[in-house]
Structure 1
Amino acid sequence: MALTEVYWDHHIPLPKLAPVQAKVTVALVALLCFINSYDGDFVFDDSEAIVNNKDLRPATPLNNIWSNDFWGTNLSSNSSHKSYRPLTVLTFRLNYLVAGGLHPVGFHVLNIILHAVISALMIDVFAVLIGGLAYDEKGRILNHAPKTSLLAAIFFAAHPVHTESVAGIVGRADLLCALFFQLSFLTYCKAFNKGRYLTRVLLFSLLLCAAAMLCKEQGITVLVSELVRMGLLTRLGLMGLGGLLMLYARWRIMGTGPPAFTEVDNPASFAENIILRIVNYNYYYSLNAWLLLCPWWLCFDWSMGCVPLIKSATDWRIVWLLLLWCILVGLISQALCSQDSQRRRTLTLGLVLLVVPFLPASNIFFRVGFVIAERVLYLSSAGYCLLLAYSLGHCCYHNKKLLCVMVLALLCVYVVRCALRSHQWRSEQSLFTSALSVCPLNAKFVPVNYFSAHLKMNSSHRHVLMLHPTYVHAMNNLGNILKEKNELVEAEQLLSKAVSIQPDFAAAWMNLGIVQNSLQKFEEAEKSYWNAIRFRRKYPDCYYNLGRLYADQNRHLDALNAWRNATVLKPDHSLAWNNMVILLDNTGNLGQAELIGREALRVLPNDHTIMFSLANVLGKLQKYEESEGFFLHALRINPNAASCHGNLAVLYHRWGKLELAKKHYELSLKLDPEAPGTRDNYNMLRRKLDQLKRSTP
């Protein structure tokens, strides 16, 4: 289906480059825009999706990524967000393995490379959408709009709204989804030139679509883009059936129920009046459109009152959603009614690429957990860039100098904004600070200026609760601060209120248990801990604190069982291992304490606290040489541990190595002059040495 060259393409003020040169140019622009984010930290959602996600660790079975959500929570859990992205998590795990740990540089570099590759491939996608399908003698797709597709791809590469997807590591999901989206679409296009292998090519396109969906849920929308080009009933049936099967599988994986979100995540979806919901949803759409049009006010989190709800017809913001629909209706009418077939095709497919990938985030099919999320605009921005390039080439052809200035100015603004925004994403402090200027009403950002002192953090969280009296996370944080300040009664009240508002808030239940334990409300504390475990079954820290409660009540067997559960769920839970050794030591079960200590060191071979506890046990068992070895090993790791020097001195004292005992007593007292018992033992040793000296002829 050979087509003539798009007539407005020669108006675009860009040189006509060879395909490889064009792709390299676009990739370099993408690298230029985001390269300064390569050495950033793990920020915001990276903490949960990467730093605290056990599915990245080599010790975690690989199969877990297929049963857990993006954040490492089992999909069957009440606390799961149901975001099923195993292929994305797999790439995180590979990053972890290659880097040998949680080193953010490798994660960031891969994100930047992916964006560069996607931007380069956009040339081929835009070529099909603008110029239609045509092939050379080798079966390669011809580009009938080389300048327009190049300009649109450059706009895509440099669009600042992509910063969150590229500079934020969790944006990897959007990048991989976009990559497989492109590959699925381009593979599908090849089916038109592969008559003998039509079914095979279409099936491969479906496989790539499934891969896109396993990176992020938006991936399924590529089928809609492909269905727009359908002509034959066979293709329509095959692609439609494949899409339905993927949707069914995704629904089954999700547990046949959507995730549960709170009002602070998406206030409009909780409005009682359906008219208000529709109006506010459309206002959100207009804000997303504005971010594409003018990506200057960017923010990583638009929830928590950042966008106040429209509650009356007199609210002037209604103008924006009316303007949005006027523009959309105008574009749709041109796409459907224009006499120009090239214009119809470009506008239709540009609008499809703009709107369809956004549909999963539109609140139409199900409630989403955000107000605005810049990441979800990654694919939709491709449609916007296509329409922008078309508009510039079609509307400004009469004044090429003006067009050239406009394109150059816009690209410069994009590049500068990308560089500035990428720099803000390098650390959590700068990210939160930048958010305050955009969304001053967002209660989550208030504490950013108060990291230095508990008193100021206390005030900031109280201010948060003034803004949002039902914000349970602020209650939990303030409760923890009050707990540290020993203001336990108020802490208990706040945490109790938090769990009454959100009964499945496991962390608040655990913190409430800690406070109640400190208040010696042991029965209530135990109930709180078990509530936390009920809502988060794999909660090692809660089992650890439950063990401490049982130990305080001299319920030693229960304490040991709780700590054992903590180590089963989290094998590197050092505190739980150490407490088991200490409890068994204190209760005279030295043999069992030795076994537990050795087991712990097989898991944590360089944990000096466990070495210290095991060395104490071995000393009591008169295994002096082994005890000495563990003490010395612990001191090599932590040479300034006064207690370790002191207990090693006691070992030498018992062993009869008095000079060594004297040396380590003195080192212990030098590090901690107030070390309990050490000075008495040292004085006792000195008297003994004096006696020996006097008795020596």
Structure 2
Amino acid sequence: MVLLLSGLVLLFVRWRIMASSAPTFQRVDNPASFADSILTRVLSYSYIYALNGWLLLCPEWLCFDWSMGCIPLVESLEPRLLAVGLFWMTFIALLWKSLSIPSGKGQRSLIMCLAALVIPFLPATNVFFRVGFVIAERVLYLPSVGFCLLVIVGLRKLAMFHGSHRAIQIGYTYVVLLLGIRAVCRSAEWRTEAVLFHSGLSVCPLNAKVHYNIAKNAGDAGNRTLAIFEYREALRLHSEYDQAMNNLANILKDEGKLHEAERLLRKAVQLRPDFAAAWMNLGIVLAGLKHHSEAETSYFTALAYRKKYPDCYYNLGNLYLEQQRYGDAYRAWRNATALKPTHVVAWSNLIIMLDSIGQMDRAESIAQEALTILPQEPSLHFNLANALGKTGRFVEAEKHFIEAITLDRKNAVYYTNLGVLYHRWKKYDKAERLYQQALELNPHLQSAKDNMALLQKARNRIANQQ
């Protein structure tokens, strides 16, 4: 009674958390539950039950995701129906055995095993409500208790009719060791995302999400070639995979293939009109193609679907800057920093724009405001130093240049600009040293080479005058 009441309370709490409504799922999450034919649903569900049983018996086929075509629907007579028939015959035989044997300890043990096996699995059967997965290995944790008990009951029965208990013990030990080794091997596959995602290919090569995850991992690691290949494979398997379209378009955009990126993003937002990220990325691509009006519309659409979207405001500001709409750019970037005070590039663009249009006081004010939030951000110190240097406040500029270099010692541009400050300050020895340090970090930095040449000319001119 206590367990029953506890279960009912948990169900009630879960129902309230879900706002008293069932979750919604897409066809790709659980294709069988969306099948039009009742026969297809029954046969596909039965095959999924059989696969779950096989995973308990022989956990060889393990995958982090079983959706998106991993298990094709059973729609006609085919070899997989043999597995369905074997599963139901085994289950019915066990059920009949539990009900037909005489009442006693043996019957209670068998019924308890079957109850522990079946009851925890019932919510995942799609019988009472639709679930958002095809196979989820985690739902077998509790049923595995009943399965293990059933194995023990079976071994005890086998020992009663078999003369050699030792042979049974050896066989049981061998199976336990084999499964232990399998557990260790599977655990190793979970250590890194790359290994885990690739392991899914051997089990579910038709799963678009497996290819999507491999592509995303490759893209994050900088392997664009593999990422593009796997995103295309994901789209070949699932032609309406909007997230794959968005991510592939981002890579193509970075490679300058703007027209193909535009085509993918337009299709993505057509499939999912409220896809805010795709609308924003479409705006970026359209801006790159100089379709400014359409780009602005795309950004506004993204903001309509996601009002608190600092990255979109940032890109909108970039669009306005390109059109020299400085007031609009300022407001867009301020919206970005208001929504996300740590948005470094929005702060930097504000400072640089105000500096470039001669509003030095506002540039300094914005920089100081940003530094109260991000005091350890080198780019903010650098941009403030540039603005201060232009107004002849060399001492303050020097302080912020040095702070920027202290925070980022590998940025050759920081050394070059501090060198320029010393150059203007007529501290030629310090300027030369900074230019040399910049060229040591980046021998191909043209600004450092040009300023070093100008410095040598200035020194030669001074020497000739003397």
Superposition TM-score, scaled by structure 1 size: 0.61
The equivalent residue for 2:350 is 580
Q: Which amino acid aligns with 2:248?
A: L
**For 1:261 and 1:535, how far apart are their aligned partners in 2?**
20
Deviations 1:265-302 (A, max 9, x none): 22212212233223212221221111111101111111
What is the root-mean-square deviation in Å for CA atoms of aligned residues? 2.8
Deviation at 1:457, TM superposition (A): 4.0
Alignment partners' CA distance in 1, 2:81 and 2:59: 21
Give the 3 Å change call, closer, same or farther, for CA 594–310 of structure 1 in structure 2. Answer: same
Q: What is the distance in 1 between the residues matched to 2:256 and 2:273? A: 25
The answer (yes or no) to whether the contact 1:303–1:370 under 8 Å persists in 2 is: yes
For 1:296 and 1:279, how far apart are their aligned partners in 2?
Answer: 23
Instruction: Answer yes or no: is 1:650 the counterpart of 2:420.
Output: yes
Q: How big is the shift at 1:373?
A: 1.6
Identity in percent: 47
Residue deviations 1:589-615 (CA, integer Å, cap 9, x gap): 333333332333343333222221122
> Any conservation in 1 of the 2:292–2:319 contact (CA below 8 Å)?
yes
Distance 1:526 1:415, change over 3 A: same
Match for residue 107 of structure 2? 344
Secondary structure in structure 1 of the residue aligned to 2:63: coil
The aligned counterpart of 1:250 is 14
Quick one: which of 454, 458, 463 aligns to 1:688?
458
Deviation at 1:628, TM superposition (A): 1.7
What letter matches 2:199 in structure 1?
Answer: S
* Per-residue Cα deviation, 1:348-395 (whole angstroms, up to 9, x for no partner): 333333233333333334433322121222222222222222222233
After TM superposition, the structure 1 = structure 2 runs for residues 131-170 of structure 1, keeping only pairs within 5 Å, are none
Tell me: CA distance 1:330–1:357, structure 2 relative to 1, closer, same or farther (3 Å).
same
Equivalent residues of 1:616, 1:627 under 8 A apart? yes
Q: Match for 2:194: what amino acid?
A: Q
Separation in structure 1 between the aligned mates of residue 347 and residue 154 of structure 2, nearest angstrom? 66
SS in 1 for 2:334: helix
Give matches, 1:331-370, under 5 Å: 331-370=94-133
Find the counterpart in structure 2 of residue 289 from structure 1: 53
Tell me: CA distance 1:357–1:580, structure 2 relative to 1, closer, same or farther (3 Å).
farther
Letter in 2 for 1:252: R
Q: 1:677: Cα distance to partner?
A: 4.7
| Aligned pair partner of 1:661 in 412, 424, 431 | 431
Distance 2:258 2:78 in 1: 44
**Pair 1:458-2:228 in alignment:** yes
Structure 2 CA distance, aligned partners of 1:336 and 1:624? Answer: 93
Distance in 2 (CA, whole Å) between partners of 1:633 and 1:349 is 71
User: Alpha-carbon deviation of 1:663?
Assistant: 1.8
**Whole-Å separation in 2 of the counterparts to 1:384 and 1:622:** 80
- In 2, distance between residues paired with 1:534 and 1:335? 60
Kindly indicate whether the alpha-carbon contact (under 8 Å) linking 1:645 and 1:668 is maintained by their aligned counterparts in 2.
Answer: yes
Structure 2 partner of 1:617: 387
CA contact (8 A) 1:597 1:610 kept: yes
C-alpha displacement of 1:530: 3.3
TM-score, length-scaled by structure 2: 0.88
Distance in structure 2 (CA, Å) of the matches to 1:562 and 1:422? 47
> How big is the shift at 1:404?
0.4
2:180 to 397, 405, 415: 415
Tell me whether 1:262 sits opposite 2:32 in the alignment. no
SS at match of 1:331: helix
The alignment partner of 2:102 has SS state of coil
Asked if the contact 2:235/2:241 (under 8 Å) is kept, the reply is yes
Q: Are residue 559 (structure 1) and residue 329 (structure 2) matched?
A: yes
Pairing of 1:199-214 with structure 2 (within 5 A): none
Q: Decide which moves more: 618-627 or 512-521.
A: 618-627
Find the counterpart in structure 2 of residue 179 from structure 1.
Answer: none
Aligned counterpart, 2:302? 532
Question: For the pair shown, which has the larger CA radius of gyration, 1 or 2?
Answer: 2
The question of whether the paired residues in 1 share the 8 Å contact of 2:249 and 2:261 is answered with yes
Contact 2:65 2:210 in 1 (8 A): no
Out of 22, 38, 42, which is 1:278 matched to?
42
> What's 1:511 paired with?
281
Q: Write the distance in 2 (CA, Å) between the matches of 1:255 and 1:305.
A: 31
Question: Contact (CA 8 Å) 1:628, 1:648: kept in 2 or not?
Answer: yes
Paired position in structure 2 for 1:444: 209
Give the aligned partner of residue 172 of structure 1: none
Q: Partners in 2 of 1:383 and 1:504 — Cα distance?
A: 45
Tell me the residue number matched to 1:628.
398
Aligned match of 1:306: 70
Change beyond 3 A, Cα 1:376–1:482:
same
> SS in structure 1 opposite 2:171?
helix
Query: Which residue identity is paired with 1:411?
Result: V
Match of 1:174 in 2: none
Letter in 2 for 1:327: T
CA displacement 1:491-532 (0-9 Å, x = unmatched)? 111111122122233332222221111112223223323333
Distance 1:544 1:455, change over 3 A: same
Residues 453 and 250 (structure 1), Cα distance of their counterparts in 2 relative to 1, 3 Å cut: closer
Residues 626-661 of structure 1: per-residue CA shift (max 9 Å, x gap): 322222222233323221111111222233323212
> Which runs of 5 or more structure 2 residues have no equivalent in the other structure?
none
Q: Partner of 1:56 in structure 2?
A: none
What is the SS of the residue equivalent to 2:131? coil
1:598 aligns with: 368
Q: Give the CA deviation at 1:573.
A: 2.6
Aligned to 1:545: 315
After superposing on structure 2, the runs of 4+ consecutive aligned residues of structure 1 that deviate more than 6 Å are 449-452
2:302 alignment partner AA: A
SS in 2 for 1:268: helix
Partner Cα distance (1:361, 1:565) in 2: 45
Q: Does 2:141 match 1:371? A: no
- Measured after TM superposition, the shift of residue 420 of structure 1 is 1.0
| Structure 1 letter corresponding to 2:181 | V
Contact 1:352 1:383 in 2 (8 A): yes
Q: Say if 1:615 and 1:383 are closer, same or farther in 2 by CA, change over 3 A.
A: farther
Is the partner of 2:235 in helix, strand or coil? Answer: helix
Alignment partners' CA distance in 1, 2:95 and 2:156: 19
- Superposition deviation, residue 333 in structure 1: 3.3
Letter in 1 for 2:177: C
- Secondary structure of the residue that 1:396 maps to in structure 2? helix
Alignment partner of 1:431 is 2:196:
yes
Q: Is the 8 A contact 1:461 1:478 kept in 2?
A: yes
- Map of 2:81 onto structure 1: 318
Asked if the contact 1:264–1:471 (Cα under 8 Å) also holds between the matched residues in 2, the reply is no
Residue 455 of structure 1 deviates from its aligned partner by 4.4
Higher relative contact order (CA 8 A, sep 6+): 1
The CA deviation string for residues 541-591 of structure 1, in whole angstroms up to 9 with x for no partner, is 333222222322333333333333433444433222222222222233333
- CA pair 285-673 structure 1, distance change in 2 beyond 3 A: same
Letter of the 1:442 partner, please give it: N
Partners of 2:112 and 2:29 in 1: how far apart? 32
The amino acid across from 2:455 in the alignment is: L
Structure 1 pair 366/510, CA: closer, same or farther in 2 (3 Å)? farther
State the 1:536 CA deviation: 3.9
Secondary structure at the counterpart of residue 441 of structure 1: coil
- Counterpart residue type for residue 84 of structure 2: L
Provide Cα deviations, 1:220-244, integer angstroms capped at 9, x if missing partner: xxxxxx33xxxxxxxxxxx1xx655
C-alpha separation in 2, matches of 1:351 and 1:540: 54
Alpha carbons of 1:637 and 1:557: their partners in 2 closer, same or farther (altered >3 Å)?
Answer: same
| Corresponding residue for residue 607 of structure 1 | 377
**8 A Cα contact 2:67 2:134, kept in partner:** yes
**Equivalent residue of 1:367, what SS?**
coil
